[in-house]
Amino acid sequence: MPVPVDPLDELLRPPTDETSEQRAVRLAREEQARNVSAAIDASIKAERIARRKKRIVRLLLLGQSESGGLTYLISSPVLTDITGKSTTLRRKFMAFCR
C-alpha cells in the first residue's frame, strides 16, 4: 500500500542542494516568523482579556415591591468576585441604592 504524499510536506522541506549559509538564513527567517506569530498571538490574547473585563452585564430583577429584591441583589454573588470580596460594581450599586 503506497504512503500518501502530503503536498505541503514537499513545499516546506528544505532544498536538497542548500548550502550552510542558505540554511542559516532560512532558519533565521523561520525564527523571526515564529517571533512575529507569537507577538500576534499575545496581542490577540490581551485584547480578548481586555474585552472580557469591559463586559457589561445588565440584570433586571422583577417582582413585587417590598419582596426582598434589593436584599437579594445586595447579597448576590454577581456583585462579588470569586474570593467573596466586594467589587467596584457592588460599591457603585450600594451608593446608587442609598
Q: Are 78 and 56 in contact (CB under 8 A)?
A: no
Distances from the Cα of 34 to the Cαs of 23, 27, 82, in angstroms? 16, 10, 36
pTM score, whole prediction = 0.48
pLDDT bucket at 84, cuts 50 / 70 / 90: low
Q: Where are the domains of the chain?
A: 18-55, 57-98
User: For cell 422583577, what's the residue?
Assistant: 62
Of residues 66 and 12, the one with the higher pLDDT is 12
pLDDT score of 98 more than 80: no
Percent of the chain with pLDDT over 90: 30
Q: What is the largest CA-CA distance in the chain?
A: 84
